[in-house]
Structure 1
Amino acid sequence: MTHVTTHILDATAGTPAPGVAVTLARLGGDTIVEAVTDADGRLALGPDRLDDGDYSLTFATGAYFRSRGVSSFHPIATIAFTVSGEQHLHVPLLLSPFAYSTYRGS
């Protein structure tokens, strides 16, 4: 089954990033689901199966840092990825006020 998970780490604080709003959408299309990371900075997004194609995860990074009184550069971070076949996709985000990085996790 295909489903998407993420884990956000705040590299500045050295801790997980709770309370970050995340949107899963078909790339250039409709929103599939919106949710917020838990106390450990983790989130599982549905549905259990995504059709093959291109999708995006958009993280509300600016709001996260504003809520902590920290200036930041990126109001959002959008990561585009491709679903092909039945697979679990883990898309972690390493976050700081002025940069972010990601990779395909397991």
Structure 2
Amino acid sequence: MSRPILSTHVLDTSTGTPAGGLFVELLKKRDDTWTLWHNTVTTCDGRIQFPFSKESMAPGTYKLKFNIEDYYKKSGKTTLYPYVEIVFNTTEGAHYHIPLLLSPYGYTTYRGS
């Protein structure tokens, strides 16, 4: 199986476990507006491999929107962030792994491999 062109992995650093069941939207910027491209939920391992090939995911500006508030509400916790948005640019044919390390009062991201 070929490597997905876009993937993410969310870890809840407050519990030291993957953030399973987290609703995520993928949006693409077109002119000055964002268009919903795909939405899904992280697996029990906190992962998403988006179903796009190099041919179907054109270079451009994309945004992953993670619904943090609902994720923490399920476990009776509150959070400062209702959602986290990560905006990134793509080029033709490259692989993008966009991890999110999450806690109720902080987060970080980076380009993974």
Confirm or deny a common fold (TM above 0.5).
yes
Aligned CA RMSD, in angstroms, stands at 1.3
* 1:54 Cα offset (Å): 0.4
Name structure 2 gaps, 5 residues minimum: none
Distance, in Å, in 1 between the alignment partners of 2:107 and 2:69 is: 12
CA distance in 1, matches of 2:61, 2:100: 18
Q: CA deviation at 1:56?
A: 0.3
Q: Does residue 1:29 correspond to 2:34, yes or no?
A: yes
Deviation for aligned residue 1:13 = 0.3
Contact kept, 8 Å, 2:4 with 2:49, in 1: the verdict is: no
SS at match of 1:29: strand
Cα deviation, residue 48, structure 1: 1.6
Q: SS state of the match for residue 65, structure 1?
A: helix
Give the percent of matched residue pairs that are identical in Structure 1 and Structure 2.
37
Residue 15 of structure 2 is matched in structure 1 by: 13
After TM superposition, where is structure 1 displaced by more than 4 Å over at least 4 residues in a row? none
* Larger radius of gyration between Structure 1 and Structure 2: 2
Q: Is the 8 A contact 1:65 1:72 kept in 2?
A: yes
1:56-95 Cα deviation digits (max 9, x unpaired): 0000111100111011010100000001120110000000
**How many residues are aligned here?**
106
SS at match of 1:54: strand
> For 1:6-57, what per-residue CA distance to the aligned partner results, in whole angstroms no more than 9, with x for missing partners?
0000000000000000111103321110000001001111322311110000
- In the superposition, the TM-score normalised over structure 2's length comes to 0.89
Q: Is the 8 A contact 1:16 1:40 kept in 2?
A: yes
Q: Distance in 2 between matches of 1:84 and 1:96?
A: 30
SS of the residue 1:23 aligns to = strand
